[in-house]
Structure 1
Amino acid sequence: MPPTRRNLPQLLGDARRWFDEGLLAAMEAGGSAPVSPTQAQLFAVLDDEGTTVSELARRMAVTRQTAHQAVHGLVAAGLLEQVPDPASARQRLIRRTPAGRSAHRTAHDVLARLEERLAERIGKDLADALRAALEAPWGPPAP
């Protein structure tokens, strides 16, 4: 039986894991507090001025409870803080602490190095084409 061709979502998931694993390993090797892939994803979708837990959950495509757990772990690690939302007395914003901003800058640098490493491995033209394909507007999915 011929090998099954993997679909594009599976391949994109593998690519995401490659970056996540490289990022988390580099951050931990650099002395950063260990974080989970979910916590790293939360960090990536957080606005500089702060974001509500509900909005974080929507952006991450996870439950509010999952986002809330990730927030609490990062608050305990000193990377995030909760502050009152000036637009709503009932909500709180999640934002990076000074240590969190530093970790975010470091993560940005690590990801840039991982992109360079990928370009070295698959070739700059393929890496550029991959970026162009992912940045192109895809439109809504077909029903």
Structure 2
Amino acid sequence: MTDVKPDHIMALLGTLLDSLRRDLVGAIASVADPPVLREVRMSHIRMLSLTPPDGMRVSDLADRIGMTKQALGEFATTLERLGLVESVRDPADRRVRIVRPTPLGRRVAETGTALIGEVETAWRERVGDRDWDRLRSLLVTVEARGRA
């Protein structure tokens, strides 16, 4: 069987993300507490880590994360079912939904962030400090320029 080499940046980045996700899933599987972490995807951890403890309006959180309001609403509903966020109405405007992490949600975000750090450390060891730092620096630069 011949290995297929990524011939464009999207394929290359996709392959890299798939590998990082597999490593993260393996790290999550090794953690017993909190058990709900096994039901959470990387995108859920990202949302939890970007949601302030006192909460944020769905529309503002969607902008912060780069999702549509509807997609974020679905994510929030899933995380609410898992007990990781709660949804309350803004007392100043009852039409507005505020999403905030529960204590369990904050713990999952902290644990998930720590596991991501462990995966990054393993990848740093695999590719070397210089190359890892260069990769991260380039990704930060590309992301910042993409927003501009």
Asked if TM exceeds 0.5, the reply is yes
Question: Which of the five TM-score ranges fits, normalised by the shorter chain?
Answer: 0.7 to 0.9
Alpha-carbon RMSD across the aligned residues, in angstroms, is 2.8
CA distance in 2, matches of 1:12, 1:112: 19
Which structure 2 residue ranges, 5 or more long, are not aligned? none
Aligned residues: 140
Q: Aligned pair 1:40/2:45, yes or no? A: yes
Relative CO higher for 1 or 2, CA cutoff 8 Å, sep ≥ 6? 2
Of 87, 90, 96, 1:85 maps to 90
Q: 1:111/1:66 Cα in 2 relative to 1: closer, same or farther (>3 Å)?
A: same
Q: Partner of 2:145 in structure 1?
A: 139
Q: Quick check: 81-90 or 129-138, which moved more?
A: 81-90
Structure with greater proportional helix content: 2
State the Cα distance separating 1:125 from its structure 2 match. 0.8
State the Cα distance separating 1:115 from its structure 2 match. 0.7
Identity among equivalent pairs (%): 27
Which one-letter code corresponds to 1:82 in the other structure? S
Question: For residues 48-94 of structure 1, what are the alpha-carbon distances to aligned partners after superposition, in whole Å with 9 as ceiling and x for unaligned?
Answer: 33223233434444443332222111111111111233564321211
* TM-score normalised by L of structure 2: 0.75
State the Cα distance separating 1:99 from its structure 2 match. 0.6
Q: 1:55/1:16 Cα in 2 relative to 1: closer, same or farther (>3 Å)?
A: farther
Q: 1:121/1:49 Cα in 2 relative to 1: closer, same or farther (>3 Å)?
A: same
* TM-score normalised by L of structure 1: 0.77
